[in-house]
Structure 1
Amino acid sequence: MPAAMSPAVPAGHEALEIAGRIIDRQIQDDRCYPDLSELLAVPAPGSPTVSGMTDMDYPLQGPGLLSIPNLPEISSVRRVPLPPELVEQFGHMQCNCMMGVFPEISRAWLTIDSDIFMWNYEDGGDLAYFDGLSETILAVGLVKPKGGIFQPHVRHLLVLATPVDIVILGLSCANTQAGIGSLNDSLSGGMQLLPDPLYSLPTDNTYISAITSTDNGRIFLAGKDGCLYEVAYQAEAGWFSQRCRKINHSKSTLSFLIPSLLQFTFSEDDPVVQIAIDNSRNILYTRSEKGVLQVYDLGQDGQGMARVTSLSQNAIVSAAGSVARTIDRSVFKPIVQIAVIENSESIDCQLLAITHAGVRLYFSTSQFKHPAARPSMLTLVHVRLPPGFSASSNVEKPSKVHRALYCKGVLLMAASENEDNDILWCINHDSFPFQKPMMETQMTTRVDGHSWALSAIDEFKVQKIVTPLNKDIIPITDSPIVVQQHMLPPKKFVLLSAQGSFMFHKLRPVDQLRHLLVSNTGGDGEEIERFFKLHQEDQACATCLILACSNAACDREVSAWATRAFFRYGGEAQMRFPSALPPPSHVGPLLGSPIPPVSPLTVDSPYPSPSLLTTPGPGLQPVGVSTPIFPPGNSVSHPGTSVSSGMMGPEIVFSGRHNGICIYFARIIGNIWDGSIVVEKIFKSGNREVVAIESSVPSHVLGCVLQELKGLQEFLDRNSQFATVGALGNPSFSTPANLQQRLLGFMRPDGGSSQQVQQELQRKYHAEAQLTEKTSLQGIQQLVRKTCQALALWKLLCEHQFSVVVGELQKELQEHLKMTAFKDLVIRDKELTGALIASLINCYIRDNAAVDGISTHLQDICPLLYSTDDAVCSKANELLQRSRQAQNKLEKEKMLRESLKEYQKISNQVDLANVCAQYRQVRFYEGVVELSLTAAEKKDPQGLGLHFYKNGEPEEDAVGLQAFQERLNSYKCITDTLQELVNQSKAAPQSPSVPKKPGPPVLSSDPNMLSNEEAGHHFEQMLKLAQRSTDELFSIALYNWLIQVDLADKLLQVTAPFLEPYLVRMTKIDQNKVRYMDLLWRYFEKNRNFSNAARILAKLSDLHSTEISLQQRLEYIARAILSAKSSTAISSIAADGEFLHELEEKMDVARIQLQIQETLQRQYSHHSSVQDAISQLDAELMDITKLYGEFADPFKLSECKLAIIHCAGHSDPILVQTLWQEIIEKELSDSVSLSPADRMQALSLKMALLGKIYAGTPRYFPLGKWFSLHSV
Structure 2
Amino acid sequence: MSSNASNNKPTIAELHKILATGKSLDQTITKELGYPDLTDLFSTGASDVYTTSFASLKQELVSITDKQFPEQIKSKIDETRCRSFVGILKEIKRAWISLDHYLYLWDYNTGGDICEYVDQDQPITAVGLVKPKPGVFNPKIDYLLIVATALQIIPLGISVSEPTQLGEQSVVNLIAVNLAIPSDDISMRSVVGTTDGRIFMVGNPTGDETNNTGHLYELVYNVPTKWTGPLCQLVCRTENILNRFLPTPLKMKSDSRVKSVVIDSERKVLYILNFDSSIEVVYIGTHEYTPVIKYKSVIEHAQNMCRQHQRVCDPEEFLISSLHIIPKKESQKIYLMAMTTGGFRLYFSGHANVLRMYAPVSGTTDRPSTLELVHVRFPPAEANLHPDEPKASYHTTYYSRGTCISAKANKEFDSVHITALASVQQEQSSAISFGYTNINRMPFIETAASTDTKFRIAAIDEIMTGNELRELAQQLSDPQRTFVAVSIGSICAYHKKRPVDILERLIANYRPSNESQRKEIMTFFDEFGKAETCAMCLSIICDSGDKQTIDTATYLFFEYGGVPAASKANQAPNNYLAHADTMSGVTYSGKHDGFVLFLARLLGPIWTTKLFVPSKDGKIYVNSCSKEDNPFITVRRKLLRLKTFMDAHKGFHDPATISDPRFQTLDSKILALYLDEQRSVHELYLFLLQCIDSIEFSVFLWDANTRNTLQRYISVDTPSLLKDLDIKMMLTMQEGRDFCHELVITAVDEVTVKNAAAFNETVSTDLQQRCPVFFSRGDFFFFRGVEYIRRALHEDSENEKRFFLQQSLSQFQQASDQISEAHISSICSFYQAQSFHVGVVELMLDRAQKLDPQQQALAVFESGGQGDEASKALYDARTKTYNYIFLALKDARSLLQPKIDMGRRVPIADKAVYVKQVFESALQNKDPLFHYKLYYWYINENMTDELLAVDTEFLVPFFSKVVQDEYISLNFLWQYYRGKTQFYKSAICLTRLAEMPSDQITLEARMKYLAYARVNCRCGEKETDISNYTRVQLAERIDTRMNACRLQIRIQNILKNSGNIDAIAAAKELDYQLFDDERKLYSYAERFPQLQDLFKSI
Q: When the two structures are superposed, what TM-score results if normalisation uses the length of structure 2?
A: 0.80
Match for residue 571 of structure 1 among 562, 569, 587? 562
Letter of the 2:74 counterpart: V
Match for residue 50 of structure 1 among 36, 40, 46? 46
CA distance in 1, matches of 2:854, 2:741: 32
What pairs up with 1:483-498 in 2 under 5 angstroms? 483=473, 489-498=479-488
Q: Which residue of the partner structure matches residue 173 of structure 1?
A: 160
| CA displacement at 1:197 relative to structure 2 | 6.3
CA distance in 2, matches of 1:327, 1:960: 79
Match for residue 232 of structure 2 among 235, 241, 244? 244
What pairs up with 1:1202-1217 in 2 under 5 angstroms? 1204=1098
Are the counterparts in 2 of residues 982 and 1015 from structure 1 also a CA contact under 8 Å? Answer: no
| CA displacement at 1:106 relative to structure 2 | 1.5
Q: Which residue of the partner structure matches residue 518 of structure 1?
A: 508
**Partner-residue secondary structure (3-state), 1:99:** strand
What pairs up with 1:1013-1024 in 2 under 5 angstroms? 1018-1024=914-920
Q: Which residue of the partner structure matches residue 460 of structure 2?
A: 454
- How many residue pairs match? The answer is 1042
| CA displacement at 1:899 relative to structure 2 | 1.9
| CA displacement at 1:78 relative to structure 2 | 0.8
| CA displacement at 1:890 relative to structure 2 | 2.3
Q: Which residue of the partner structure matches residue 737 of structure 2?
A: 833
CA distance in 2, matches of 1:659, 1:1148: 88
Once structures 1 and 2 are overlaid, which stretch shifts more, 868-877 or 1094-1103?
A: 1094-1103
Q: Which residue of the partner structure matches residue 306 of structure 1?
A: 291
Are the counterparts in 1 of residues 240 and 252 from structure 2 also a CA contact under 8 Å? Answer: no
CA distance in 1, matches of 2:612, 2:177: 45
Q: Which residue of the partner structure matches residue 1207 of structure 1?
A: none
Cα distance, 1:1010–1:824 mapped onto 2, change above 3 Å: closer
Once structures 1 and 2 are overlaid, which stretch shifts more, 135-144 or 962-971?
A: 962-971
**Partner-residue secondary structure (3-state), 1:1097:** helix
What pairs up with 1:1066-1105 in 2 under 5 angstroms? 1066=961, 1070-1105=963-998
Cα distance, 1:1022–1:393 mapped onto 2, change above 3 Å: farther
**Partner-residue secondary structure (3-state), 1:442:** strand
Are the counterparts in 2 of residues 336 and 402 from structure 1 also a CA contact under 8 Å? Answer: yes
Cα distance, 1:797–1:192 mapped onto 2, change above 3 Å: closer
Q: Does 1:278 align with 2:268?
A: no
Cα distance, 1:376–1:1057 mapped onto 2, change above 3 Å: closer
Q: Which residue of the partner structure matches residue 189 of structure 1?
A: 170
Match for residue 877 of structure 1 among 786, 799, 805? 786
CA distance in 1, matches of 2:947, 2:654: 66
Cα distance, 1:727–1:377 mapped onto 2, change above 3 Å: same
Match for residue 974 of structure 1 among 885, 888, 903? 885
Are the counterparts in 1 of residues 95 and 107 from structure 2 also a CA contact under 8 Å? Answer: yes
Once structures 1 and 2 are overlaid, which stretch shifts more, 918-927 or 800-809?
A: 800-809
What is the CA RMSD across the aligned residues, in angstroms? 5.2
**Partner-residue secondary structure (3-state), 1:139:** strand
Q: Which residue of the partner structure matches residue 76 of structure 1?
A: 63
| CA displacement at 1:410 relative to structure 2 | 2.1
Match for residue 1070 of structure 2 among 1156, 1164, 1176? 1176
Are the counterparts in 2 of residues 343 and 371 from structure 1 also a CA contact under 8 Å? Answer: no
Q: Which residue of the partner structure matches residue 774 of structure 1?
A: 678
User: What do residues 775-805 of structure 1 show as CA deviations (whole Å, max 9, x unaligned)?
Assistant: 4434444444455555655665566559997
**Partner-residue secondary structure (3-state), 2:1066:** helix
Are the counterparts in 1 of residues 69 and 490 from structure 2 also a CA contact under 8 Å? Answer: yes
Letter of the 2:217 counterpart: Y
Are the counterparts in 2 of residues 928 and 973 from structure 1 also a CA contact under 8 Å? Answer: yes
CA distance in 2, matches of 1:155, 1:954: 72
Are the counterparts in 2 of residues 349 and 364 from structure 1 also a CA contact under 8 Å? Answer: yes
Cα distance, 1:371–1:785 mapped onto 2, change above 3 Å: farther
Q: Which residue of the partner structure matches residue 1119 of structure 1?
A: 1012
Q: Does 1:1164 align with 2:1058?
A: yes
What pairs up with 1:591-670 in 2 under 5 angstroms? 599-601=571-573, 653-669=587-603
**Partner-residue secondary structure (3-state), 2:200:** strand
Match for residue 1007 of structure 1 among 889, 897, 903? 903
Once structures 1 and 2 are overlaid, which stretch shifts more, 410-419 or 1138-1147?
A: 1138-1147
**Partner-residue secondary structure (3-state), 1:224:** strand
Match for residue 79 of structure 2 among 92, 101, 109? 92
CA distance in 2, matches of 1:386, 1:821: 44
Q: Does 1:404 align with 2:397?
A: yes
CA distance in 2, matches of 1:612, 1:1025: 52
Q: Which residue of the partner structure matches residue 207 of structure 1?
A: 187
Letter of the 1:274 counterpart: S
CA distance in 1, matches of 2:84, 2:721: 64
CA distance in 2, matches of 1:415, 1:1137: 122
Are the counterparts in 2 of residues 985 and 1011 from structure 1 also a CA contact under 8 Å? Answer: no
Q: Which residue of the partner structure matches residue 267 of structure 1?
A: 255
Cα distance, 1:796–1:206 mapped onto 2, change above 3 Å: same
Q: Which residue of the partner structure matches residue 845 of structure 2?
A: 933
**Partner-residue secondary structure (3-state), 1:525:** helix
CA distance in 2, matches of 1:335, 1:917: 76
What pairs up with 1:175-574 in 2 under 5 angstroms? 188-194=169-175, 196=176, 198-225=178-205, 226=213, 227-236=215-224, 243-253=231-241, 263-267=251-255, 272-287=258-273, 290-301=275-286, 303-304=288-289, 306=291, 308-309=293-294, 311=296, 326-329=311-314, 332=317, 335-369=320-354, 372-375=365-368, 380-389=373-382, 399-419=392-412, 421-432=413-424, 436-460=442-466, 480-483=470-473, 489-520=479-510, 525-550=518-543, 554=545, 558-574=549-565
**Partner-residue secondary structure (3-state), 1:898:** helix
| CA displacement at 1:694 relative to structure 2 | 10
CA distance in 2, matches of 1:612, 1:1133: 75
CA distance in 1, matches of 2:174, 2:730: 52
What pairs up with 1:917-932 in 2 under 5 angstroms? 917-932=829-844
Are the counterparts in 2 of residues 830 and 865 from structure 1 also a CA contact under 8 Å? Answer: no
| CA displacement at 1:117 relative to structure 2 | 1.7
Letter of the 1:190 counterpart: V
**Partner-residue secondary structure (3-state), 2:62:** coil
Cα distance, 1:1191–1:1071 mapped onto 2, change above 3 Å: farther
| CA displacement at 1:368 relative to structure 2 | 4.9
Q: Which residue of the partner structure matches residue 899 of structure 1?
A: 808
Cα distance, 1:1159–1:942 mapped onto 2, change above 3 Å: closer
| CA displacement at 1:936 relative to structure 2 | 3.9
CA distance in 2, matches of 1:40, 1:954: 64
Cα distance, 1:243–1:947 mapped onto 2, change above 3 Å: closer
Larger C-alpha radius of gyration, 1 or 2? 1
CA distance in 2, matches of 1:374, 1:913: 54
Q: Which residue of the partner structure matches residue 1219 of structure 1?
A: none
Are the counterparts in 2 of residues 135 and 164 from structure 1 also a CA contact under 8 Å? Answer: yes
User: What do residues 749-770 of structure 1 show as CA deviations (whole Å, max 9, x unaligned)?
Assistant: xxxxxxxxxxx9x998655544
CA distance in 1, matches of 2:306, 2:1084: 126
Q: Which residue of the partner structure matches residue 1235 of structure 1?
A: none
Are the counterparts in 1 of residues 302 and 346 from structure 2 also a CA contact under 8 Å? Answer: no
User: What do residues 205-246 of structure 1 show as CA deviations (whole Å, max 9, x unaligned)?
Assistant: 223333333333333332234222222233548999983222
- Structure 1 unmatched ranges of 5 or more: 43-48, 61-66, 463-478, 579-597, 603-607, 614-639, 642-649, 735-759, 991-1004, 1205-1272
What pairs up with 1:943-954 in 2 under 5 angstroms? none
| CA displacement at 1:427 relative to structure 2 | 2.2
CA distance in 2, matches of 1:1149, 1:727: 79
Match for residue 1043 of structure 1 among 939, 944, 947? 939
Are the counterparts in 2 of residues 298 and 305 from structure 1 also a CA contact under 8 Å? Answer: yes
Q: Does 1:886 align with 2:795?
A: yes
Letter of the 1:883 counterpart: A
| CA displacement at 1:190 relative to structure 2 | 1.5
Q: Which residue of the partner structure matches residue 621 of structure 1?
A: none
Cα distance, 1:245–1:1014 mapped onto 2, change above 3 Å: same
CA distance in 2, matches of 1:1034, 1:383: 79
Letter of the 1:876 counterpart: G
